[in-house]
Amino acid sequence: MSLVAAWHDSTEASGARSPLVILFHGRGSNEHDLLPIAEELPPKFSFVALRGPIAMDFGGYTWFENRGLGRPLGESLRASVDLVQAWIDGLDESRCDTKRIVLFGFSAGMLIASALLLDRPERFRGAVLLSGTLPWDNGAIEPAADRFANIPIFYGRGSADEVIPLDLVARSVAYLENDSGADLTARLYPIDHMISDEELRDIGEWLTKVG
């Protein structure tokens, strides 16, 4: 199985020297959903949006089979993480700096992005985790103490967002703040399940410092 990818290279991105942001969409969406936000983020980055490998009956794609929102099946999550890691292995080093990769996930995309980071934390420069949960209770990839030690992470969500079960959100926040070891920037916005202009501005400032 191969991954479908859509790229956005800004005029300032400089090939092998450009840090890369990998965008992960939410459940039922596709690789084109998040790519437009690249226009609002620092132009020194290259951006690539990946399509989840699992087609959904009602349209769109997802990253893993689940037993309820935010609750992945371990075998499915492991397979998708391995697929993405293999895709990263095959990146063309003339197109981007493969030593400076930032993961960016929204909703179910936050779960797969955080699973990738948990799987190989040394591989990534940092992560933007938005409006979702970490992978819990799946038997394959789960948070452990200090797994994100000194890794810059931007975490954001809306105060009116009730899409992802709030018990999973609370558990994820507690881990990020107290147990992950991350260099954490956390923001709460007066929105629901979306990414606001204010949030994008904050992410852009964070990326400039991290990249």
- DSSP-H helix ranges across 44-153: 74-89, 108-119
Residue 64 tokens, joined: 């893993």
Q: For residue 12, what pLDDT is reported? A: 77
Q: Which structural domain, as residue segments, surrounds residue 120?
A: 5-210
What pLDDT was estimated at residue 13?
77
The pLDDT tens digits for 103-131 are 999 999 999 999 999 999 999 999 999 99
d(CA 79, CA 52): 12
Model confidence at 211, pLDDT cuts 50, 70, 90, reads confident
Tell me what percent of the residues of the chain surpass a pLDDT of 70. 99
Order of strands across the sheet that contains 101-106 = 5-9, 46-50, 20-24, 101-106, 126-130, 152-158, 183-189
pLDDT, tens digit (0-9, with 9 covering 90-100), for 62-71: 999 999 999 9
**pLDDT, averaged across the chain:** 95
Q: Which two tokens stand for residue 200?
A: 């994008």
- pLDDT, tens digit (0-9, with 9 covering 90-100), for 2-42: 799 999 987 677 767 899 999 999 999 999 999 999 999 99
Q: How far is CA 36 from the centre of its chain?
A: 16
- From the list 151, 144, 88, the residue with the least C-alpha distance to 125 is 151
Q: Cα–Cα distance between 11 and 196 in angstroms, integer?
A: 25
Mean pLDDT of 68-88: 97
What φ, ψ does residue 67 adopt, rounded to 5°?
A: -115, 30
> pLDDT tens digits for 125-181?
999 999 999 999 999 999 999 999 999 999 999 999 999 999 999 999 999 999 999
**CATH number of residue 72's parent domain:** 3.40.50.1820
Read off the amino acid at residue 30. N
Number of domains present in the structure of the chain: 1
Helix, strand and coil percent figures for the chain, each rounded to 5: 30, 20, 45
